[in-house]
Structure 1
Amino acid sequence: MSARSHRWVSRTAASAFVLACLAALHTPATATPPPPEGSADHHAGSQIAKHEGAAPVDPAQLVLDGSTIPGMDVSSHQGDVDWPHWWGQGKRFAYVKATEGTGYRNPKFGQQYDGSYQVGMVRGAYHFALPDRSDGAAQAHYFVDNGGGWSPDGRTLPGTLDIEYNPYGDDTCYGLAPDAMVTWIRQFSETYRARTGRWPVIYTSTLWWDRCTGRVGDFTETNPVWVARYADSVGPLPHRWAVHAIWQHTSTPIDQNLFNGTMDDLVALARG
């Protein structure tokens, strides 16, 4: 190789090296992947309790005269549930976490969902929403496909959309503006309705709902509301709802709820 050719090759290699360095400087860093879905801690109200606190509730102050029906909700956090024990404690309905986002299924769902039914409870499934991971339709389909369906047997409650504080970061409203959040919830709700024939129950807290929907959505004509408030009264309801279906009043020693009605009313909700 001539000296002239050698100089050309050396300059070409040097130029290529410089260009590669410049490209590296202008290439954006790979985004940090989102945390995996499905921590056992993400049960109904787990993030509400963290953000809003949980005052001790004196059971003696709660009205248990037949005008309300005691119930409970569980997730993989509880493991295998002793259903005969809770039936003996007067619980007559249960909600069981089925899914989260589109990447998590409760590994204890079968024992919990079937076990509550076998002991005599009216039961239903719930979905922990992650509105920043996928659209409402995708998560509704995932929920129905993995235990969140409904049947008109009088023992199966409509599925519930659990929508609350973001467990994976500081962005309380998952990066969505109020109008976008309302659209996401409506999309989930309408997809669930199309798949099952029922509108889902919406589980939330008044503070989260009013902040993240901006008090612009109205679901009162379609969706019963299940409100979380760990105090001795249900308090103000989320925007536009005048009456609640279920109140989650404590998470000690397990998530406990009161259905706002008689046993006949609960069965009527199940039957649709």
Structure 2
Amino acid sequence: MAYMKISRKTSLVVGTLIFAALICFMIAVSAPVASKRYSIKGIDVSHHQGNIDWPKVSEHGISFAYIKATEGSGYVDEKLADNYEGVSKTDINYGFYHFLSLESSAETQMDNFREAVKEYKMELIPTIDVEWYGDMRKNPPRKKLVISKLKELSALMEEEYGTKPVIYTTQTFYFKYLRGEIGENPLWIRNTFFFPVQDFVIWQYSEKLDLGDAVELGRYVDIDVMTSDAQLKMDIDQVTYR
């Protein structure tokens, strides 16, 4: 069988080209670069940011915001009312999110969320935030518990607001618990390193958006992008407050 002898120089050139191509690919899919494909930018906030000057936030090209409303069955974010009052006076589209607890029932968590936001207009579909907390990394809960709690709360929110809630999660939590489990719920994924492999409607790609003096505590907030075909606007007529 005939073969071509490849010189060491040729091998070195080929290896260098492959390495360069790999570097270019890694740069292209890195979060700072890949996120530039998207023009719809947003933030998510809670009491951790302190007081927020929402008119100043809107000057940074922010199109949407998700505000923490509740956590578990009894906690209401202490800045919920202030953030609602501020954002509602701007052109920023906004919604609310609930941090899922595995220690309380889906029913009482739904009651907590409903009561906290019942007086507020909701422009974007509500979100359930499900991720690591406490000592979960050291003592991970059973997948059955996580999925059942999430699906129960998702069903209650869909019944309440007429649409499936967005599911927010991190890359590691998704692969351990949620892959193949969240069905038709829109996905909001956190990956601050690379372009996500999942189909998403929102991607949280950094926690280092510098809003300067628009934010009281720390200057920096999480920054997200939304896909242009995302259907996250609430149909207010479907909301059935109880």
- Cα distance, 1:61 vs structure 2: 5.5
Q: Tell which has more relative contact order, 1 or 2 (C-alpha 8 A, sep 6+).
A: 2
Match of 1:271 among 231, 234, 242: 234
**Secondary structure at 2:117 match in 1:** coil
Indicate the residue corresponding to 1:234 in structure 2.
195
Superposed counterparts of 1:116-135, under 5 Å = 116-131=87-102, 133-135=103-105
Residues 145-194 of structure 1: CA distance to partner in whole angstroms, max 9, x if unpaired? 1127886xxx611111000002x22x339763212221111100001111
- Cα distance, 1:84 vs structure 2: 1.4
Does 1:247 pair with 2:203?
Answer: yes
Aligned equivalents of 1:224, 1:57: Cα separation in 2? 20
Match of 1:138 among 88, 91, 108: 108
How many residues are aligned here?
195
Change (3 A) 1:150 1:193: farther
- Contact 1:161–1:200 (Cα < 8 Å) also in 2: yes
- Contact 2:189–2:196 (Cα < 8 Å) also in 1: no
Q: Which amino acid is the alignment partner of residue 63 of structure 1?
A: K
Larger radius of gyration: 1
Q: Please identify which structure carries the higher strand content.
A: 2
Aligned equivalents of 1:136, 1:173: Cα separation in 2? 24
Superposed counterparts of 1:199-210, under 5 Å = 199-210=164-175
Match of 2:40 among 50, 66, 69: 69
Aligned equivalents of 1:173, 1:216: Cα separation in 2? 24
Aligned equivalents of 1:149, 1:259: Cα separation in 2? 26
- Cα distance, 1:255 vs structure 2: 0.8
Does 1:225 pair with 2:187?
Answer: yes
Match of 1:197 among 162, 168, 193: 162
Aligned equivalents of 2:95, 2:163: Cα separation in 1? 12
Aligned equivalents of 2:197, 2:167: Cα separation in 1? 16
Change (3 A) 1:88 1:180: same
Residues 196-217 of structure 1: CA distance to partner in whole angstroms, max 9, x if unpaired? 212110000131122134x452
Change (3 A) 1:259 1:247: same
Does 1:165 pair with 2:132?
Answer: yes
- Cα distance, 1:86 vs structure 2: 1.4
Change (3 A) 1:181 1:245: same
Identity %: 28
Residues 126-159 of structure 1: CA distance to partner in whole angstroms, max 9, x if unpaired? 111111x1122221221121127886xxx61111
- Cα distance, 1:90 vs structure 2: 0.1
Residues 214-233 of structure 1: CA distance to partner in whole angstroms, max 9, x if unpaired? x452x232x101000112x4
Q: TM-score, normalised by structure 2?
A: 0.72
Indicate the residue corresponding to 1:187 in structure 2.
152
For the aligned residue pairs, the C-alpha RMSD in angstroms reads 2.4
**Secondary structure at 2:200 match in 1:** coil
- Cα distance, 1:115 vs structure 2: 1.3
Change (3 A) 1:185 1:61: closer
Change (3 A) 1:206 1:148: farther
**Secondary structure at 2:65 match in 1:** strand
Q: Which amino acid is the alignment partner of residue 62 of structure 1?
A: S
Aligned equivalents of 1:61, 1:186: Cα separation in 2? 31
